[in-house]
Amino acid sequence: MNQRVLNMLYTLNSLEKKQQKDACYLEELPLKAINKNISKKNKIKVVNNYFFRNKDIYVSKHNRFAPYPLHSHTFLEINYMLEGSAKQIVNGKSITLHRGDLLLLDVGAEHSISTLGEKDLLINILFRNSNINIDFLKDLRRSRSVLYDFLLKSPIKANEKQNFLIFRTGKSKKIARIMDEIIEEYFLKKEFSDTIIKSYLHILVTNLVRDYQFVEQEPQSKTRKIVIEILDEIDKEFNTITLQKIASKYGYNKNYLSNLFKKEVGKPFSEVVIQKKMTQAHTLIMSTSLPISKIVEAVGISNKSFFYKKYYDFYKEKPMADRHRNLINI
C-alpha cells in the first residue's frame, strides 16, 4: 500500500475526532442519501444512490470510534478489512472480518458495524452494476465447482436468502494488490481513475469467483467433512482422480466409500467426476481455441465417443456447435 494513502487513511477526520471524544455515533450522511419513506416503514436506515451522481463507484474509509447502526442499501457494497479487524451483524448473523477479508453485500442486506479502534481500517466500496450480484456469482461458481454445487444444496441453506458473501482472503497477495490499486487510484485522484477502478473491480470479482470458496460452512460431521474434502479433490484433480486412489488415501474400503459418497451427495462418485470433466471441457471449448481432441485429453477422457455422448447429455449440443454459437454471440 502506498504510504501516503495509508497515512491519509489513518489520519483522523473531523467526525472521527468528535466520535473519539464523545464515544457515540454521529450521522455522517446528508438527508438526501437516506430513503425517508422506506426507512420509516422498516425502521432501518436505507441508503440510496446519492453517492453515484457523477460516478459508478464510490470508495470511503469507515469512520472509527463509534458503532454504526443497522442499515441497508439500494446498491452493492464491498467491505474490505485493510488493517485490523471489525465485528459486524449481517442479517442477524455475527461475523468478524480480519485483515485482508472481504464482505460483499447485495442490495437489501442489513448490517451494523461495531466500534472500530484506531488501528482498524475498514474500506467501503459502493458500486452499482446490474451484471454483478450475489445470485450471478453463486450460479457462476456452482457451474465450475462440484463442491460449491453440493454446499449450495445443503439443507442448512435451503430456507435462507443469502444476500451476502464472505471471502476469507487474508493470505492472498493477489487480492491485496488489486484492493491496494483500487484504494490508491481513488484516494490519490489519478486521471481516469473511475475507468481504471471499474476495470479492477471486474478483475477482483473474477478472481474471487475463480479462486475462493464463499459458502460459510456450519459445523460438519466427520462423514460430511470427508465428502467435502473428496469433492474439493475432484474439483482440483478431476482429470486423474479415481475412487480407488481416494479410498486408499482415506483408508476406506472402495465399496464402502462409494456407498458413503452416494448417500451424502445423492450421486455416484463416477457421475460427479464426469460432471466436473464436462463443465471443465465446456469452459475450454467456450474460452479457448484448443482442438476438441486436446480438450478431451486435457479433462482425462480417453474415449472420444464417450466424451461426445456425455457432452451432448449435459449441454444438448455438440462441442463444435457450442463453440461456433459462442463466437457468433461475441
Residue entry with cell 456469482: 137
Best CA proximity match to 47, nearest among 165, 126, 116:
126
Given a cut of 60, is residue 245 above it in pLDDT?
yes
Q: 10 Å Cβ neighbour count for 325?
A: 11
Over residues 160-188, the pLDDT tens digits come to 556 788 899 999 999 999 999 999 999 99
For the chain, which residues make up each domain, given as ranges?
3-211, 222-329
| Residue 9, pLDDT score | 96
Any residues with CB less than 8 A from the CB of 149 and at least 6 apart, and which? 142
Average pLDDT, integer, range 199-210: 86
Sign of CA dihedral 260, 265, 266, 269: negative
Domain 3-211 has CATH 2.60.120.280: yes
- The answer on pLDDT for 40 being more than 70 is no
The CATH number that domain 222-329 falls under is 1.10.10.60
Exposure string (b/e) for 18-55, b if CB count within 10 Å is 16 or more? ebeeeeeeeeeeeeeebbeeebeeeeebbbbebbeeeb
pTM comes to 0.72
